[in-house]
Amino acid sequence: MFTGIIEELGIVKDIKMTGSSGILRIEASEVLKETKIGDSIAVNGVCLTVVSMSESSFLADVMPETVRRSSLSRVRRGDKVNLERAMAANGRFGGHIVSGHIDGMGTIVEYRNEGNAIWVTITADYDIMKFIVEKGSIAIDGISLTVAKVEESFFMVSVIPHTGSKTTLLNKHKGDVVNLENDIVGKYVASFLEQSLLKNGSKEPDKGLTIEMLNDFMK
Protein backbone atom coordinates (compact mmCIF):
# COMPACT_ATOMS: atom_id res chain seq x y z
CA MET A 1 0.00 0.00 0.00
CA PHE A 2 1.12 3.55 -0.79
CA THR A 3 0.01 7.03 0.23
CA GLY A 4 0.53 9.07 -2.93
CA ILE A 5 3.23 11.23 -1.34
CA ILE A 6 6.12 11.14 -3.80
CA GLU A 7 9.51 10.59 -2.19
CA GLU A 8 11.80 11.12 -5.13
CA LEU A 9 12.07 11.68 -8.87
CA GLY A 10 13.89 8.76 -10.47
CA ILE A 11 15.42 8.62 -13.93
CA VAL A 12 14.74 5.84 -16.42
CA LYS A 13 18.18 4.50 -17.35
CA ASP A 14 17.06 1.59 -19.47
CA ILE A 15 13.85 0.05 -20.77
CA LYS A 16 13.52 -3.15 -22.73
CA MET A 17 10.11 -3.99 -24.13
CA THR A 18 9.60 -7.41 -25.67
CA GLY A 19 6.14 -7.73 -27.12
CA SER A 20 3.63 -7.00 -24.37
CA SER A 21 6.03 -6.95 -21.40
CA GLY A 22 9.37 -5.50 -20.45
CA ILE A 23 12.02 -4.55 -17.89
CA LEU A 24 12.74 -1.12 -16.39
CA ARG A 25 15.96 0.07 -14.77
CA ILE A 26 15.54 3.25 -12.76
CA GLU A 27 18.22 5.39 -11.16
CA ALA A 28 17.30 6.48 -7.64
CA SER A 29 18.72 7.07 -4.18
CA GLU A 30 16.11 7.86 -1.50
CA VAL A 31 13.77 4.97 -2.30
CA LEU A 32 16.65 2.48 -2.23
CA LYS A 33 17.28 3.10 1.47
CA GLU A 34 16.34 -0.03 3.44
CA THR A 35 14.88 -1.52 0.25
CA LYS A 36 15.56 -5.16 -0.58
CA ILE A 37 14.79 -7.47 -3.47
CA GLY A 38 11.09 -8.34 -3.47
CA ASP A 39 9.97 -5.00 -2.06
CA SER A 40 7.45 -2.80 -3.85
CA ILE A 41 8.08 0.65 -5.31
CA ALA A 42 5.42 2.71 -7.08
CA VAL A 43 6.70 4.09 -10.40
CA ASN A 44 4.37 6.80 -11.72
CA GLY A 45 1.74 5.18 -9.53
CA VAL A 46 2.33 1.63 -10.75
CA CYS A 47 3.28 -0.89 -8.05
CA LEU A 48 6.38 -2.72 -9.27
CA THR A 49 8.49 -5.38 -7.56
CA VAL A 50 12.23 -4.83 -7.18
CA VAL A 51 13.90 -7.84 -8.82
CA SER A 52 17.48 -6.56 -8.75
CA MET A 53 19.25 -3.51 -7.35
CA SER A 54 22.56 -1.71 -6.96
CA GLU A 55 23.63 1.29 -4.89
CA SER A 56 22.16 3.69 -7.45
CA SER A 57 19.39 1.87 -9.33
CA PHE A 58 16.80 -0.88 -9.29
CA LEU A 59 15.33 -3.24 -11.86
CA ALA A 60 11.64 -4.12 -12.15
CA ASP A 61 9.60 -6.32 -14.47
CA VAL A 62 6.63 -4.83 -16.31
CA MET A 63 3.97 -7.45 -17.02
CA PRO A 64 1.44 -7.34 -19.90
CA GLU A 65 -1.48 -6.15 -17.72
CA THR A 66 0.65 -3.21 -16.57
CA VAL A 67 1.48 -2.33 -20.17
CA ARG A 68 -2.22 -2.40 -21.10
CA ARG A 69 -3.40 -0.32 -18.14
CA SER A 70 -0.63 2.23 -17.72
CA SER A 71 1.71 4.59 -19.55
CA LEU A 72 4.90 2.77 -18.57
CA SER A 73 5.25 1.37 -22.08
CA ARG A 74 5.65 4.98 -23.27
CA VAL A 75 8.51 6.04 -21.02
CA ARG A 76 11.92 6.53 -22.59
CA ARG A 77 15.52 6.63 -21.40
CA GLY A 78 16.14 9.83 -19.49
CA ASP A 79 12.51 10.38 -18.48
CA LYS A 80 11.84 11.33 -14.88
CA VAL A 81 9.34 9.23 -12.93
CA ASN A 82 7.59 9.63 -9.59
CA LEU A 83 8.79 7.13 -6.97
CA GLU A 84 7.34 6.03 -3.63
CA ARG A 85 8.19 3.06 -1.43
CA ALA A 86 5.41 0.99 0.07
CA MET A 87 4.16 2.55 3.30
CA ALA A 88 5.80 1.34 6.50
CA ALA A 89 3.44 0.10 9.21
CA ASN A 90 4.59 2.90 11.51
CA GLY A 91 4.64 5.57 8.79
CA ARG A 92 2.54 8.71 8.52
CA PHE A 93 -0.52 8.63 6.28
CA GLY A 94 0.07 11.89 4.41
CA GLY A 95 -2.08 11.26 1.32
CA HIS A 96 -4.80 8.63 0.86
CA ILE A 97 -4.96 4.87 0.35
CA VAL A 98 -3.19 4.11 -2.93
CA SER A 99 -2.83 0.49 -4.04
CA GLY A 100 -0.55 1.04 -7.01
CA HIS A 101 -3.02 -0.77 -9.27
CA ILE A 102 -3.83 1.57 -12.15
CA ASP A 103 -7.44 1.80 -13.33
CA GLY A 104 -6.58 3.43 -16.64
CA MET A 105 -5.13 6.52 -18.26
CA GLY A 106 -6.25 10.11 -18.66
CA THR A 107 -5.12 12.89 -20.98
CA ILE A 108 -3.98 16.35 -19.91
CA VAL A 109 -5.93 18.97 -21.86
CA GLU A 110 -5.17 22.23 -20.05
CA TYR A 111 -2.94 24.02 -17.57
CA ARG A 112 -4.14 27.29 -16.04
CA ASN A 113 -2.44 29.55 -13.49
CA GLU A 114 -4.32 30.92 -10.49
CA GLY A 115 -2.26 32.72 -7.87
CA ASN A 116 0.43 30.39 -6.60
CA ALA A 117 -1.37 27.27 -7.88
CA ILE A 118 -1.85 25.67 -11.27
CA TRP A 119 -5.10 24.08 -12.37
CA VAL A 120 -4.71 20.87 -14.36
CA THR A 121 -7.60 19.54 -16.43
CA ILE A 122 -7.63 15.84 -17.34
CA THR A 123 -10.08 13.93 -19.52
CA ALA A 124 -10.85 10.25 -18.86
CA ASP A 125 -13.26 7.52 -19.93
CA TYR A 126 -16.56 6.92 -18.17
CA ASP A 127 -15.26 3.82 -16.37
CA ILE A 128 -12.86 6.10 -14.49
CA MET A 129 -14.98 9.26 -14.28
CA LYS A 130 -17.86 7.44 -12.56
CA PHE A 131 -15.73 7.01 -9.43
CA ILE A 132 -14.44 10.61 -9.27
CA VAL A 133 -16.19 12.98 -6.88
CA GLU A 134 -15.55 16.62 -6.07
CA LYS A 135 -13.28 17.01 -3.03
CA GLY A 136 -12.50 13.30 -3.20
CA SER A 137 -9.05 11.82 -3.78
CA ILE A 138 -7.37 10.52 -6.92
CA ALA A 139 -3.84 9.36 -7.69
CA ILE A 140 -2.35 10.91 -10.84
CA ASP A 141 0.91 9.22 -11.82
CA GLY A 142 1.06 8.12 -8.19
CA ILE A 143 0.48 11.61 -6.77
CA SER A 144 -2.28 11.91 -4.17
CA LEU A 145 -4.41 14.90 -5.17
CA THR A 146 -7.78 16.36 -4.25
CA VAL A 147 -10.36 16.64 -7.01
CA ALA A 148 -11.42 20.28 -7.24
CA LYS A 149 -14.03 20.06 -10.00
CA VAL A 150 -15.79 17.28 -11.91
CA GLU A 151 -17.72 17.36 -15.18
CA GLU A 152 -19.04 14.51 -17.32
CA SER A 153 -15.84 13.81 -19.24
CA PHE A 154 -13.11 15.63 -17.30
CA PHE A 155 -11.94 16.60 -13.84
CA MET A 156 -9.63 19.27 -12.45
CA VAL A 157 -7.03 19.40 -9.70
CA SER A 158 -5.17 22.39 -8.27
CA VAL A 159 -1.43 21.84 -7.82
CA ILE A 160 0.53 23.83 -5.24
CA PRO A 161 4.18 24.84 -5.84
CA HIS A 162 5.61 22.16 -3.52
CA THR A 163 3.80 19.34 -5.33
CA GLY A 164 4.75 20.82 -8.67
CA SER A 165 8.44 20.94 -7.79
CA LYS A 166 8.60 17.43 -6.30
CA THR A 167 6.72 15.55 -9.02
CA THR A 168 6.56 15.25 -12.81
CA LEU A 169 2.99 16.51 -13.28
CA LEU A 170 3.73 20.12 -14.24
CA ASN A 171 6.57 19.08 -16.57
CA LYS A 172 4.16 17.28 -18.86
CA HIS A 173 2.44 18.82 -21.87
CA LYS A 174 -1.08 19.08 -23.21
CA GLY A 175 -1.92 15.76 -24.82
CA ASP A 176 0.33 13.73 -22.53
CA VAL A 177 -1.24 10.73 -20.81
CA VAL A 178 -1.13 10.07 -17.07
CA ASN A 179 -1.86 7.00 -14.95
CA LEU A 180 -5.04 7.23 -12.89
CA GLU A 181 -6.06 5.27 -9.81
CA ASN A 182 -9.50 5.91 -8.34
CA ASP A 183 -10.14 5.99 -4.61
CA ILE A 184 -10.28 2.31 -3.63
CA VAL A 185 -12.92 2.97 -0.93
CA GLY A 186 -15.32 4.37 -3.53
CA LYS A 187 -14.74 1.39 -5.83
CA TYR A 188 -15.53 -1.10 -3.06
CA VAL A 189 -18.67 0.77 -1.99
CA ALA A 190 -19.93 0.93 -5.58
CA SER A 191 -19.21 -2.79 -6.12
CA PHE A 192 -21.01 -3.84 -2.92
CA LEU A 193 -24.05 -1.70 -3.76
CA GLU A 194 -24.24 -2.95 -7.34
CA GLN A 195 -24.05 -6.59 -6.22
CA SER A 196 -26.72 -5.97 -3.58
CA LEU A 197 -28.98 -4.27 -6.10
CA LEU A 198 -28.58 -7.19 -8.50
CA LYS A 199 -29.55 -9.62 -5.75
CA ASN A 200 -32.61 -7.49 -5.04
CA GLY A 201 -33.86 -7.52 -8.61
CA SER A 202 -32.26 -4.54 -10.31
CA LYS A 203 -31.48 -5.38 -13.93
CA GLU A 204 -29.39 -2.33 -14.88
CA PRO A 205 -26.88 -1.46 -12.13
CA ASP A 206 -24.35 -0.53 -14.82
CA LYS A 207 -26.34 2.64 -15.56
CA GLY A 208 -25.35 4.03 -12.20
CA LEU A 209 -27.01 4.32 -8.82
CA THR A 210 -30.17 6.38 -8.52
CA ILE A 211 -32.27 7.53 -5.57
CA GLU A 212 -35.04 5.20 -6.73
CA MET A 213 -32.68 2.21 -6.79
CA LEU A 214 -31.37 2.99 -3.31
CA ASN A 215 -34.91 3.47 -1.96
CA ASP A 216 -35.90 0.06 -3.35
CA PHE A 217 -32.79 -1.48 -1.82
CA MET A 218 -33.58 -0.04 1.65
CA LYS A 219 -37.15 -1.38 1.70
- pLDDT tens string 73-102: 899 999 999 999 998 777 777 788 899 999
Domain-located, residue 97: no
pLDDT of 191? 81
Domains of the chain: total: 3
Based on the domain organization, do 110 and 170 belong to the same domain?
yes
Secondary structure of residue 36 in the 3-state scheme: coil
Q: What is the pLDDT of residues 167-188, one digit of tens each?
A: 999 999 999 999 999 998 888 8
Identify the domain containing residue 191 by its residue range: 186-218
The CATH code of the domain that includes 143 is 2.40.30.20
Concatenated DSSP letters of 138-202: EEETTEEEEEEEE-SSEEEEEE-HHHHHHSSGGGS-TT-EEEEEE-HHHHHHHHHHHHHHHHTT-
Domain-located, residue 149: yes
Based on the domain organization, do 177 and 204 belong to the same domain?
no
Task: Determine how many CB atoms are found less than 10 A away from the CB of residue 197.
Answer: 19
